[in-house]
């Protein structure tokens, strides 16, 4: 179920304390994050299925070399066309996949930024003393930032942002290099072809881990910095703020 507030969605937390409201908004962010990551995982599983035939072909060739009594050595591996084709396809497939990662980051971040102003305002209102007339007078001076202004301020959604450039240019080659390293290591250690295949699949999985980490970081950054921008735009109300965090294994100790 899509829990994150959409445009015009309710951010009424008038019956909650500031900490309770923050916990609710955090839960909504995690729900949005889980949906996006679920789609990334599904897309990457399809990518790995497309690579499987290339992996099988390379393993079959290594099997054939062993069946002929030929010792499989690293220098022979790197001369094989199947080896080169696999690395090329890994890089191409992962590079295409980065478009999906970019889209997920873009869509999630825009939802987050779009709701940031209302959430920040609601949290500030929940932090006030509770005197209805005075609270309304204070909140009447709230300066609502335009979504586009926050997007420009954060910068990472721009087509030429460092985040997008790194995704497009580095992820594919990095996964390809990881596969090559695992192959060379496996052959060097004398792994049988089946174990080599398992090592290749493990290496391709690094691309998913890296992309999920990037997407999570971008979403959390958008939530945090969009809130900060709204607080900073209202110095007549907000003098300081406090970060709150759950004490669990998802949280960086810093």
Q: Do 136 and 129 touch, CB atoms closer than 8 A? A: no
Residue 210, token pair as written in the block: 């890296």
Q: How far apart are CA 207 and CA 221, in angstroms?
A: 21
Q: How far apart are CA 246 and CA 56, in angstroms?
A: 45
Chain segment 206-230, per-residue pLDDT in tens:
999 999 999 998 998 899 889 999 9
Residue by residue, what is the 3-state secondary structure of 53-94? HHHHHHHHHHHHHHHCCCCCCHHHHCCCHHHHHHHHHHHHHH
Q: What is the pLDDT of residue 11?
A: 67
Q: Is the dihedral of CA 160, 207, 45, 33 positive or negative?
A: negative
Which residues have a Cβ under 8 Å from the Cβ of 245 and sit 6 or more positions away? 251
Residue 238, token pair as written in the block: 């907000």
Q: What is the pLDDT of residue 6?
A: 41
Q: Do 200 and 100 touch, CB atoms closer than 8 A? A: no
State which residues of the chain have pLDDT below 50. 1-9
Question: pTM score, two decimals?
Answer: 0.84
């Amino acid at each position: 179920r899509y829990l994150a507030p959409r445009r015009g969605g309710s951010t009424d937390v008038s019956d909650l304390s500031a900490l309770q409201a923050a916990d609710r908004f955090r839960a909504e962010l995690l729900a949005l994050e889980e949906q996006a990551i679920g789609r990334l995982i599904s897309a990457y599983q399809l990518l790995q299925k497309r690579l499987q035939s290339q992996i099988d072909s390379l393993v079959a060739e290594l099997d054939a070399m062993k069946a002929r009594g030929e010792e499989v050595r690293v220098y022979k591996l790197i001369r094989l066309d199947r080896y080169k084709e696999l690395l090329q396809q890994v890089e191409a497939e992962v590079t295409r996949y980065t478009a999906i990662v970019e889209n997920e980051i873009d869509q999630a971040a825009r939802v987050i930024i779009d709701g940031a102003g209302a959430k920040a305002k609601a949290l500030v209102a929940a932090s006030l003393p509770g005197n209805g007339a005075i609270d309304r007078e204070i909140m009447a001076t709230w300066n609502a930032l335009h979504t586009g202004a926050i997007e420009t301020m954060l910068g990472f959604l721009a087509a030429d942002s460092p985040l997008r450039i790194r995704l497009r240019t580095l992820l594919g080659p990095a996964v390809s290099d990881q596969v090559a390293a695992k192959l060379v290591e496996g052959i060097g250690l004398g792994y049988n072809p089946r174990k080599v295949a398992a090592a290749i699949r493990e290496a391709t999985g690094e691309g998913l881990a890296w992309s999920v980490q990037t997407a999570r970081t971008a979403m959390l950054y958008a939530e945090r910095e969009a809130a900060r921008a709204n607080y900073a735009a209202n110095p007549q109300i907000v003098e300081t703020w406090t970060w709150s965090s759950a004490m669990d294994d998802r949280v960086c100790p810093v």
